Structure 1
Amino acid sequence: MHITNEEELVSAVNKMRMAGTDLTEYELKSASGGIPKETAESISAFANSSGGVIVFGIRESGGFHAVDIDAKSVQAGAAQAARELVEPPQAVEILVLEFESKPVVVVNVSEAPVREKPCYVKKYGQINGSYIRTGDGDHRMSLYEIDRFTENQLRAARNDIAVAKEATTDDFDNGLLEGWFARVRATSFGRSATMSNEELMANRRVIDYDENGVARPTIAGLLSFAEYPQKYYPRLNVVFTSYPTSRKGETGPGGQRFSDTVNIDGPIPAMVVETVRAVSRNMKHGAIVKGALRENVPDYPLPAVREAVANALMHRDYSVEGQGTPVTVDLYPDRLEISNPGGLFGILTIEKLGTSGATASRNQFLSRILEDVPYADYDGRVGRVVENRGSGYPTINRELEEALMPNPISRSSLDGFQIVLRHRKMTEQEGKAYSKNNVEDAILAFLSERESASASEIARASGIGIKTIRGYISKLLDDGTLDAIGTRNSPKRRYRLSG
């Protein structure tokens, strides 16, 4: 958000007047006594955030009016602050515009490239001189935020291959490992196909060797294959919570704060499955009368939920500072929120999510390992935890689109990422009652897709009691529409379309 002319300046000031304060993207400074000493801090904050504008010559107190300044001196001071007082230097745009018949100096600060963050005030050093823009002010960054910026700058995060010093290879689930060995060898060419098991684990960083030469799991290896990684890292798990109202902490009609809450532990393959199951059992599955009796439609497409959970576990921050924070999955009456520590990594931005080629892995080794880990999904199908081809977010978008739901809302900051799925809108057919005719039509449609079916199978599909269904079947038998297979009182009796 930049200001390039008087009209845009007036519009920005009017917004601030309405709010009664500076805004996230604008910082007003009086500068009646010269360039303010905290100018470098503001440049650092905007460069480390999404960019912004510093306006010299307007005083916030008293109604946001222009004051007299030495525009030439302020202009020179702003240029010096941007070029000499911060590291790395920032190429700001400086304009002199008119407001209330007085000159004001506008400094447009662009967001710094990932490789140049954090931008910091030289005299304080990186640890004490790195700022970030929050609300209407400049705030000193925490060590955790600086570490995440440095990680992005180097583009080589390696927290996922830190050695789990207390763990041993006995912690591994041999079934998961054997499936992984088979998959890697079947899909790899060259050296990987002929390595011993230990060589393969070492080269893919499933294990590493401690100072005594003992092979131990890495964090990536532990989370991919250990029966219970939380023995060593208790918060590298998922916390699922279902809330009775749309606001966290607000109690429901019965005074309860949670409708359901559970800690989901185990390796990543197991956590993905159990989290999807927790979401599924706590959300509603609407019934639509459609063709072959009825179709259950969940509030959220489970494949989209699965991808979001898998992405959160794969791309979360596994640094020492982030290990105390779990992935959280919060189900509200109007939305589903999936959050993980650690924002988007590298050059990936919210705008690029879901576009062709948009992928950047914070945990490169973990991502590579999970490509080949076999597991039984929530629906019983055997698959892989991730594809690691940048397909996760497009899958989420596609599943939501097919369910006639809006795209997800994504939020990213230095210390966290969140994806929000908005509740499915109720369809016109949802909850539609069966009439005599459409039950008969639905039974016929159901049987047209099968060789035969029992009364109990038809009852389960319709959601109607078996006694009622038998009444409809009896009528269809009488008028010759259906044929029966088996004797009248046989529990194995089935029905099919006549002719």
Structure 2
Amino acid sequence: MAESITTDQELADAIALMREAGTDLKDYELKEAKGGFPSSAVESIAAFANTNGGVVILGINEKTFAPVTDLDVRKLQSQLAQAARERLQPAVQIDIQVLHYRQSPVLVANVPELDIMQKPCYVKKRGKMDGSYLRTGDGDHLLTLYEIDRFMENQYRVARNDLVAVPDATIDDLDPDLLHQWMRMQRAGSFERSTAMSDEQILINRRVLADDGNGTPRPTIAGICALGSFPQKFFPRLNVVFTSFPTSRKGDILATQRYLDAENIDGPIPAMISGALRAVSRNTRTGAVVVGALRKDIPDYPLPAVREAIANALMHRDYSPEAQGAPVRVELYPDRLEIINPGGLFGPLTVEALERKERTQSRNQFLARILEDTPYTDTDGSEGKVVENRGTGYPIIAGSLAQANMAPPFVESDLDEFRIVFRRRQTQDGATDSATDMKHQILTFLANQSSAGTAEVASRFDISRRTAAQHLNDLRKEGLVEAIGAKNSPKRAYRVIKN
């Protein structure tokens, strides 16, 4: 949530940041308003309401950052309140402050983030498709149809893309062994009436099959992805792409080769999980710790945590037509492992609630239910099911890392994708330096933001402000980031230097 501006000093600090950056920032939008109420202010309010909140400031020149003279504060205040109340759907309850900058009055509107059930906020006269905005970087941008669809899914908590029947697919495209074992679980389940049902009835009831509209039962997306022999026959990019990069920055021009290892991992979900785990294993090292008088070999990343993250990515990814061209990505760097899937957290679930292990929410309810009974053989030969679906996914990840004395994962989610990052273990032979590792994580975080302050970095990585300040200062000295704002200002921020 963006910080509000409620005092003259906070206003001065915010303007100083923008002056040094030479532009608006992700949390602040300047409007001169010299000729009257700017219509673009309505778009900015909608954008902030759809993102993380923010502040619209009227009465400051966007180029010189000087206050405007002869500002009709009373009229603008009324117009601003009316616009937020009557020109947006839903109405946004903004907090309007009349503050002063260099002895001149300035109108400040603190815009709260709307609840997920109210998004997207849009300009009424343009409609939802042409009047919904999102705040990215220093500007307001129209939402794409894909982004609006994701907001609507979250609002109504209804995503049924996994139930779509796959044209041209037949029951013969399901893997016989997987199907046999899965069906055996259904017959042995607690639903006694299943014994009186045919196999086809069970498959239809569990949404492995669905009518194609012409009376022919065909595998659904959920069915073909969980139990199919080769789902990529129908959806080439519903797979996992593994890449091992030689340096900590993708596309680093200093790298002598683009990647160390790369693989397209195909097959049904159980096969893709085990294939991705093997790819991670063969590209990571085994280090050591001393426990008592004994040396114990340990991998760079706890495989139970990696397995759970990959399974979650495949189960919770977006299977809508717009996202079917995007694979799950498993990206290994010298200092970290990233697992990225199309589609952010679903419904009311937030990163904060996920990290507090408060709740779970399934975008693909029927796929999740199928995977509960889908057999899986791990890389060590142990057997089980693909998922438990008991809200234990993230706790298993966090617990495995904690048990290995490793830092919690870094989690990031937006409308388009979900990303979980594991920091590489610091082994006893000095394979990874924890300070360097943290700096790389902070740099990655800043690369996805227009800017961020010390407090924001400290909160994101669960470190002290002093430690965050030290890492940011080191990155600044290395020429990787630059500071904006006065040195001792509480609103001083940092951003990545673009090459």
- Counterpart CA distance in 2 for 1:219 and 1:337 is 26
Contact 1:276 1:378 in 2 (8 A): yes
Aligned positions of 1:149-188 closer than 5 A? 149-188=151-190
Match of 1:260 in 2: 261
- Counterpart CA distance in 2 for 1:184 and 1:321 is 33
Following superposition, the deviation at residue 63 of structure 1 comes to: 3.6
CA change 1:264–1:67 in 2 (3 A) is farther
Following superposition, the deviation at residue 196 of structure 1 comes to: 2.7
- Counterpart CA distance in 1 for 2:290 and 2:430 is 7
- Counterpart CA distance in 2 for 1:81 and 1:87 is 11
Unaligned runs of 5+ in 1: 432-499
- Counterpart CA distance in 1 for 2:145 and 2:335 is 36
What SS is found at the alignment partner of 1:18?
helix
Residue among 20, 30, 33 paired with 1:31: 33
Aligned positions of 1:429-440 closer than 5 A? none
Following superposition, the deviation at residue 183 of structure 1 comes to: 2.1
Contact 2:207 2:366 in 1 (8 A): yes
Following superposition, the deviation at residue 293 of structure 1 comes to: 6.1
Structure 1 vs Structure 2: percent identity of aligned residues? 57
> Is 1:143 the counterpart of 2:162 in the alignment?
no
Deviations 1:234-269, CA, capped at 9 Å, x for gaps: 00000000011111123676x321100000000001
Aligned positions of 1:277-426 closer than 5 A? 277-288=278-289, 294-426=295-427
Following superposition, the deviation at residue 408 of structure 1 comes to: 0.9
> Is 1:4 the counterpart of 2:16 in the alignment?
no
Unaligned runs of 5+ in 2: 433-499
- Counterpart CA distance in 1 for 2:161 and 2:236 is 17
CA change 1:116–1:160 in 2 (3 A) is same
Deviates more, 1:282-291 or 1:356-365: 282-291
Deviates more, 1:320-329 or 1:68-77: 68-77
Following superposition, the deviation at residue 380 of structure 1 comes to: 1.0
Deviates more, 1:268-277 or 1:86-95: 86-95
- Counterpart CA distance in 2 for 1:172 and 1:371 is 17
| Letter of the 2:9 counterpart | E
Aligned positions of 1:85-234 closer than 5 A? 85-192=87-194, 194-234=196-236
| Letter of the 2:330 counterpart | V
Deviations 1:331-383, CA, capped at 9 Å, x for gaps: 01011111111111100011111434411111111111111111111221101
Contact 1:244 1:251 in 2 (8 A): no
- Counterpart CA distance in 1 for 2:47 and 2:87 is 13
Please, what is the CA RMSD of the aligned residues?
Answer: 1.9
- Counterpart CA distance in 1 for 2:361 and 2:274 is 24
- Counterpart CA distance in 1 for 2:91 and 2:123 is 10
Contact 1:288 1:430 in 2 (8 A): no
Contact 1:348 1:358 in 2 (8 A): yes
Deviations 1:136-188, CA, capped at 9 Å, x for gaps: 10011111111111111121100011110111000111211122122233342
Following superposition, the deviation at residue 61 of structure 1 comes to: 1.7
Following superposition, the deviation at residue 8 of structure 1 comes to: 2.3
Max Rg structure: 1
Contact 1:59 1:67 in 2 (8 A): no
Aligned positions of 1:31-70 closer than 5 A? 31-65=33-67, 67-70=69-72
What SS is found at the alignment partner of 1:353?
helix
- Counterpart CA distance in 2 for 1:355 and 1:193 is 41
- Counterpart CA distance in 2 for 1:151 and 1:211 is 24
- Counterpart CA distance in 2 for 1:296 and 1:194 is 52
What SS is found at the alignment partner of 1:346?
coil
- Counterpart CA distance in 2 for 1:342 and 1:317 is 5
Contact 1:66 1:99 in 2 (8 A): no
Select the structure with the greater relative contact order (CA < 8 A; seq sep ≥ 6).
2
Match of 1:461 in 2: none
Q: TM-score, normalised by structure 1?
A: 0.83
- Counterpart CA distance in 2 for 1:99 and 1:214 is 70
Residue among 59, 62, 78 paired with 1:76: 78
What SS is found at the alignment partner of 2:166?
coil
What SS is found at the alignment partner of 1:266?
coil
- Counterpart CA distance in 1 for 2:396 and 2:93 is 39
Following superposition, the deviation at residue 411 of structure 1 comes to: 1.1
What SS is found at the alignment partner of 1:59?
coil
Q: TM-score, normalised by structure 2?
A: 0.83
Contact 1:289 1:430 in 2 (8 A): no
Following superposition, the deviation at residue 51 of structure 1 comes to: 0.9
Match of 2:240 in 1: 238
Contact 1:341 1:415 in 2 (8 A): yes
Following superposition, the deviation at residue 13 of structure 1 comes to: 2.0
Contact 2:15 2:65 in 1 (8 A): no
Deviations 1:28-86, CA, capped at 9 Å, x for gaps: 11112211011111111111111111011122322444543111111111112111111
Match of 2:461 in 1: none
CA change 1:182–1:16 in 2 (3 A) is same
Contact 1:29 1:57 in 2 (8 A): yes
What SS is found at the alignment partner of 1:58?
coil
Deviations 1:383-402, CA, capped at 9 Å, x for gaps: 11111112111111111111
CA change 1:65–1:284 in 2 (3 A) is farther
- Counterpart CA distance in 2 for 1:114 and 1:290 is 47
Residue among 13, 16, 32 paired with 1:14: 16
What SS is found at the alignment partner of 1:367?
helix
What SS is found at the alignment partner of 2:188?
helix
| Letter of the 1:312 counterpart | A
Following superposition, the deviation at residue 287 of structure 1 comes to: 3.5
CA change 1:191–1:61 in 2 (3 A) is same
- Counterpart CA distance in 1 for 2:401 and 2:333 is 18
- Counterpart CA distance in 2 for 1:291 and 1:429 is 19
- Counterpart CA distance in 2 for 1:188 and 1:271 is 29
> How many correspondences in the alignment?
430
| Letter of the 1:256 counterpart | Q
Contact 2:34 2:68 in 1 (8 A): no
Contact 1:245 1:251 in 2 (8 A): no
- Counterpart CA distance in 2 for 1:354 and 1:245 is 29
Match of 1:272 in 2: 273
- Counterpart CA distance in 1 for 2:311 and 2:338 is 14
CA change 1:289–1:251 in 2 (3 A) is farther
